[in-house]
Amino acid sequence: MSDFTDTDRCTPKMLAAYLRKTQWCFGMAALVLSAGCDGGSKTADDGYQSARQVCGGLSDASARTLETIAGTDEFSSMPERGDFALPATTSEELGGSAVSKQHELCSIKPENVRNKQHIGIYFKVVRTLPAAPDKRLRGNYYFKVGLRAEASDLGAKLYFECARENSENAKPPIIETDFRYSPASRGKVSYEGNMQLLNEASYRLAQQLSCLQSSGLTRQLSLE
């Protein structure tokens, strides 16, 4: 509503004051609208990670798989960078002098999404390779990776031999790695995508345990 009426005499001084007032109002309105639009969003500056950054780093292909699973491109993870934080009992478990337990290599938390999934990568030392599953059963897809590898629409599992450098073990232990998430993927994810992500983590773990040569793993997933 105008500050002037038909009976007002609009002097230059009054007009200048009116213009200053309306400019101030428009400026405040723009500021409020801007704050309302941006106030609920978080960016990498707020501490979230991209899919490429979680668990010390993923390839572009595995990052796309993770984004499809979670339905977001913002995450938190532990560890955030560098090597996996292995338990203090790892050497004893590899040598057979301690009871083997399943350990979490990396915990991944989707951000800015409802009904968040729990996504994790795990490993366990086993003395012998478990019995092979019945490949006639539907739901799993098998890969020629390590000693054995299989993927489903809920994750992947991989086994590789871990003969460590300068180890005196007559029979090298076997490492079981597991990538899983619950509930199911929000988008259409491929068995190959799940296997590629786990293969990357397993390759890094074999490097960290100094048994990459015996593991038979390669940085990139081979489908031959």
DSSP per-residue codes, 126-149:
ESSPPPPP-TTSTT-EEE-SSSEE
pLDDT for 15 equals 44
CA distance 120 to 178: 8
| pLDDT confidence bin for 30, thresholds 50/70/90 | very low
User: Is the pLDDT assigned to residue 87 strictly greater than 60?
Assistant: yes
**140 vs 31 pLDDT, higher one:** 140
- The DSSP call for residue 114 is S
Q: Which amino acid is at 10?
A: C
Global pTM reads: 0.77
pLDDT tens-digit readout, 140-190: 899 999 999 999 989 999 999 999 877 666 789 999 999 999 988 888 889
Q: Which amino acid is at 148?
A: R
CA distance 219 to 196: 9
CA dihedral sign of residues 23, 27, 32, 33:
positive
